[in-house]
Amino acid sequence: MRRRPERSIAARLLGWYDAGHRDLPWRRTRDPYRIWVSEIMLQQTRAEAVIPYYERFLKRFPRLASLARASEADVLKCWSGLGYYTRARHLHQAARRMGGAFPAGYEALRDLPGVGDYTAAAIASIAFGEAHAAVDGNALRVIARLTNDAADIGAGRTRTRFRAIAGGWLDRRRPGDFNQALMELGATVCVPRAPHCGRCPLAALCAARREGRAGQLPVKLRRQAPVKATEALVIVKRRGRILMWQRAAGSGRLAGFWELPSLSQLPQLRAPRVIGVFRHTITHHHYEVTVHVGSGARAVSPLRWVPIATLESLLLSTVARKAFEITAGGIL
């Protein structure tokens, strides 16, 4: 009797995963709190970039209760540098809402701030063994190629359909391992450009490979065009203090963060000179940031003189941190 295709996919995929996969810290636990933290951090961020932030965050907030007790400012400071700060605020809000007990089950997880279909399915399958298919960007790519499906993966109906396909392949005895294996395959073998089909455990079952179309899939039609912009920041020091300003509460995702002034905020600046340039990207916005130093500036609202000795305790934006890192002698 021939094996059903979905069983063949699950068996090959899990066999490949069991033979060796990336040793990521969140794969060494079944603690739902730690898995939840990792899944929130992994939203829109590569695993390799997440690791140091994940370890630092759990050292500072090792349990759900410690995160719930923390102030938002402390949570954001620990998250600083990882970006997409709404994720950290949602994490903190959800911890306080839980009341000390982590909710079990997909439906309860789905009700938490910042948790969508994918994140709820990932946590439910990995931590609680529930049979829900977790389909992220890597998994979408694998599904599109295996099925040779040229539908726009940016469309909600395509994602819903692909999630159902993955649900049909899902190994219900090992749903967490299956989900991680599918995502691992997309992250390390079935990569966006020049997929490594010769190393793929599912190559014999891949319809796109048979048609010579693997490199052309998946299709995503709704891409936002990149936006390029420039910014000029200024570091002004005087008597052990530095000129900065703080974003007001309610001013968006960076509310409460401290920033360096821009060149346009300091018309009275004397002898400005460039000390460095760096690049900073937020989604499809690409900034080239020039850092200046100068003197003679005044603390006109919203600017304030901040003691340099207190900077480490402040909630600094990533842009401000990058600017400080390139200063000669180092301010931080």
Mean pLDDT value of segment 129-153: 96
Are 107 and 173 within one domain?
yes
Minimal CA–CA distance to 58: which of 72, 78, 43, 73?
78
Residue 1's pLDDT is 42
Structure tokens at 26: 């969140």
Q: Which of 168, 184, 216 is the last residue of a domain?
A: 216
pLDDT digits 0-9 by tens, 306-318: 999 999 899 999 9
330 is a domain residue: no
221 is a domain residue: no
pTM as predicted = 0.86
332 is a domain residue: no
Residue 331's pLDDT is 57
- Indicate if the pLDDT at residue 245 is higher than 90: yes
Residue 115's pLDDT is 97
Q: Which of 165, 185, 216 is the last residue of a domain?
A: 216
Q: Which residues contact 102 (CB under 8 A, 6 or more apart)?
A: 32, 33, 36, 64
73 is a domain residue: yes
Are 278 and 159 within one domain?
no
Are 212 and 272 within one domain?
no
Are 184 and 254 within one domain?
no
Residue 250's pLDDT is 78
Output the CA torsion sign for 149, 152, 157, 158.
Answer: positive
What radius of gyration do the chain's Cα atoms show? 24
CATH of the domain at 14: 1.10.340.30
Are 82 and 188 within one domain?
yes
- Rounded CA separation 58/75 (Å): 11
Are 238 and 210 within one domain?
no
- Active-site positions? 39
Are 160 and 68 within one domain?
yes
Residue 86's pLDDT is 93
| Percent of the chain clearing pLDDT 70 (strictly above) | 96
Domain assignment of residue 293, given as a range: 227-325
Mean pLDDT value of segment 261-279: 93
Q: What is the mean pLDDT of the chain?
A: 93
Number of C-beta neighbours around residue 145 at 10 A: 25
Torsion of CA 185, 190, 191, 192, to 10 degrees: -130
Residue 221's pLDDT is 77
Per the document, the length of the chain is 332
Classified as helix, coil or strand, 138 is helix
238 is a domain residue: yes
303 is a domain residue: yes
222 is a domain residue: no
Residue 6's pLDDT is 66
Are 210 and 154 within one domain?
yes
Are 233 and 197 within one domain?
no
CATH of the domain at 237: 3.90.79.10
331 is a domain residue: no
pLDDT digits 0-9 by tens, 208-235: 999 999 999 999 876 678 899 999 999 9
Domain count for the chain, please give it. 2
Residue 5's pLDDT is 63
Strands 241-246, 304-307: parallel, antiparallel or unpaired by DSSP?
antiparallel
Are 120 and 264 within one domain?
no
**Residue 4 — pLDDT band, cuts 50, 70, 90?**
low
Structure tokens at 181: 């294996």
Mean pLDDT value of segment 242-253: 88
Are 80 and 208 within one domain?
yes
Please give the helix or strand (H or E) that residue 208 lies within, else none: helix 207-210
**Residue 143 — pLDDT band, cuts 50, 70, 90?**
very high
pLDDT digits 0-9 by tens, 63-80: 999 999 999 999 999 999
Are 205 and 247 within one domain?
no
Q: Which of 216, 237, 264 is the last residue of a domain?
A: 216
